[in-house]
Amino acid sequence: MDHEKRAIVLVSGGLDSATCLAIAQAEGYACYALSFDYGQRSVSELRAAERLAEAAGVAEHRTLPIDMGAIGGSALTDRAIAVPEEETEGIPVTYVPARNTVFLSYALAWAEVVEADAIFIGVNALDYSGYPDCRPEYINAFQALMDLATKAGVEGDTIELRTPLIDLTKAEIIEVGLQLGVDYSATVSCYQADEQGRACGLCDSCRLRKKGFADAGGEDPTRYRE
Amino acid sequence: MDHEKRAIVLVSGGLDSATCLAIAQAEGYACYALSFDYGQRSVSELRAAERLAEAAGVAEHRTLPIDMGAIGGSALTDRAIAVPEEETEGIPVTYVPARNTVFLSYALAWAEVVEADAIFIGVNALDYSGYPDCRPEYINAFQALMDLATKAGVEGDTIELRTPLIDLTKAEIIEVGLQLGVDYSATVSCYQADEQGRACGLCDSCRLRKKGFADAGGEDPTRYRE
């Protein structure tokens, strides 16, 4: 390693990616935080991403506008589809088609440009809400793709796809984050947070987060609407 | 097959993708043409894509604005880097980092929404200009990713990634296209075509195209600036 270690870190503004960023920094990577404005319902999530990246003192933070709404098909980008407020079977309507594939593609492009050694993404296979693109086999397939897709790959230099949260429960993620000093009050997990970043407390993402804090035995700093 | 066959077809406005679209249609697919406005130098390429999609009578044509320029790193999206006008060694500066990965990710997202059976992309491994993401091993890796990334994949329904041009020479592509009635005068290949779609005749892409028409023995309908 003849240069500083660099990592692209996907930062959504949520609990998982905030923890993931803290882990990448604790490992000594200069972090290039990447967020996406993809027509998600909750703009407060993006503001949270900005605050988190700034507080962490990242090397750079970029928010790319990407038009997932033009593709449609998800409750998170299409206001005609309601966010469910109780548990559902199978792959939920909040699934955004190919979202992680699109996100990781841009991360890969930026990784090539800044000559990053790694890409960090805070996916989680336990509390994964049934999304196909959060599973370990998906991550392995994307790593295989990265090895073939890039200049670096052709020249024998691998960019590593890192998923430090993949085997952790939500409670374990929170424990790691608290040890690393993550300010969870600055994160927004809710699929339908209001302008002030206050959570509904009812959606899938809120339920997972609540349970995580309860299991971790920590105080839940989330601001709820009621 | 209990519904009409549907395919997403990536249409750039160039010779290869025009041929690819004609092949998908000849195979009986209802075609959903997808183009990207990614800050390429040549806007006439996008106009060519519109004309081609319309002439072909596709089911739908979408042009997604995507900000590859925000990522940088290529002569095709960064005006500070010159397009070379003679042959170069290795991966050329016209390579856009992770471009096909980004394009295919969006194609995959749209394929999920319209429940497409296939995605067609006109990559070519012979005249591939040295881009890593045009090689057969890259395509195989993306197919493997698709099988794991999607709702359809989880439910055991494969979306097929089709590359009908991958083993063809430029001359063979042109021969197939002429048989299928492709109007090559409507296509733009040049990396630095002018507003009217006239080609420079000097860049890599122009050189490959010229040689293709010469080898195919067909008349070259390209409009050159001089």
| pLDDT of A1 | 46
Question: Mean pLDDT, to the nearest integer, of A173-201?
Answer: 89
Is B152 an interface residue toward A (CB < 8 Å)?
Answer: no
Residue with tokens 């002030």: A196
Q: Which of A112, A137, A161 to mutate to test the interface with B (most CBs of B within 10 A)?
A: A112
Report which residue type is found at B56.
A
Please state, in angstroms and rounded to a whole number, the distance separating the CA atoms of residues A23 and B215.
Answer: 56
pLDDT of res. A54: 94
pLDDT higher than threshold 80 for residue A144: yes
Looking at residue A133, what is its pLDDT?
83
Which of B81, B134, B150, B157 should one mutate to test binding to chain A, selecting the residue with the greatest count of A CBs within 10 A? B150
pLDDT at A105: 94
B194 or A21, which is more confident: A21
Q: Compute the distance between CA of residue B124 and CA of residue B50 in angstroms, rounded to an integer.
A: 22
- Provide the terminal-to-terminal Cα distance of chain B, rounded to the nearest Å: 51
- How confident is the model over A106-110, as a mean pLDDT? 93
Give the whole-angstrom CA distance, residue A86 versus residue A194. Answer: 19
Residue A88 has pLDDT above 80, yes or no: no
**Could you give the 3-state DSSP secondary structure of residue B134?**
helix
- Mean pLDDT across the stretch A7-25? 96
Q: Please tell me the pTM assigned to this model.
A: 0.86
Name all domains of chain A by residue range, CATH numbers in brackets: 6-216 (3.40.50.620)
* Residue B57 CB neighbours (<10 A): 8
Report pLDDT for A130: 67
Residues B199 and B222: beta-carbon distance below 8 Å? yes
Residue contact A73–B97, C-beta within 8 A: no
First-to-final CA distance of chain A: 51
Return the DSSP state at B186: G
The per-residue pLDDT for range B15-71, each reduced to its tens digit, is 999 999 999 999 999 999 999 987 766 678 889 999 999 999 999 999 988 877 677
Query: pLDDT for A53-64, tens place per residue?
Result: 999 999 999 998
Contacts of B151 in chain A (CB under 8 A): 91, 95, 97, 132
Question: Which residues 20-59 of chain A have a CB within 8 Å of chain B?
Answer: none
Nearest CB partner across the interface for B105, out of A105, A112, A153 = A105
Residues of chain B contacting A142 with CB distance shorter than 8 Å: 145
Distance (Å, whole) CA A225 – CA B49: 48
Measured between beta carbons, the chain A residues lying within 8 angstroms of B100 are 149
Closest CA to A171 of A208, A125, A123: A208
**Could you tell me if B141 and A101 are in contact, meaning their C-beta atoms sit under 8 angstroms apart?**
no
Report the residue of A93, A145, A150, A155 to disrupt the B interface, i.e. the one with the largest count of B CBs within 10 Å: A145
Q: How far apart are CA A162 and CA A21, in angstroms?
A: 11
Residues A106, A107, A113, CA angle at the centre, nearest 5°? 90
Residue bearing tokens 């996008």: B46
A152-156, A222-226, B115-119: which has the minimum mean pLDDT? Answer: A152-156
Q: How far apart are CA B65 and CA B80, in angstroms?
A: 21
pLDDT, residue A81, reads 57
Maximum Cα–Cα distance across chain B = 55
Arithmetic mean of pLDDT, A143-147: 94
Contacts of B99 in chain A (CB under 8 A): 109
Per-residue confidence in pLDDT tens, chain B, 226 aa: 456 899 999 999 999 999 999 999 999 999 999 999 877 666 788 899 999 999 999 999 999 888 776 776 655 555 555 656 666 555 555 567 788 999 999 999 999 888 999 999 999 887 655 678 888 999 999 999 999 988 777 777 789 999 999 999 999 999 999 999 999 988 888 888 888 888 888 888 888 889 999 999 878 898 888 7
The residue length of chain B stands at: 226
Q: How far is B7 from chain A (nearest CA, A)?
A: 15
Q: For residue A157, what are the contacts with CB-CB under 8 A and spacing of at least 6?
A: none
pLDDT value of residue B127: 60
Token pair in block for residue A9? 């870190």
Catalogue the E-assigned strands of chain B: 6-10, 30-37, 60-65, 118-120, 160-162
Q: What is the 3-state secondary structure (H, E, C) of chain A?
A: CCCCCEEEEECCCCHHHHHHHHHHHHCCCEEEEEEEECCCCCHHHHHHHHHHHHHHCCCEEEEEECCHHHCCCCCCCCCCCCCCCCCCCCCCCCCCCCHHHHHHHHHHHHHHHHCCCEEECCCCCCCCCCCHHHCHHHHHHHHHHHHHHCHHHHCCCCCEEECCCCCCCHHHHHHHHHHCCCCHHHCCCCCCCCCCCCECCCCHHHHHHHHHHHHHCCCCCCCECC
All residues of chain B having their beta carbon less than 8 Å from the beta carbon of residue A65 are 67
- The more confident residue out of A70 and B36 is B36
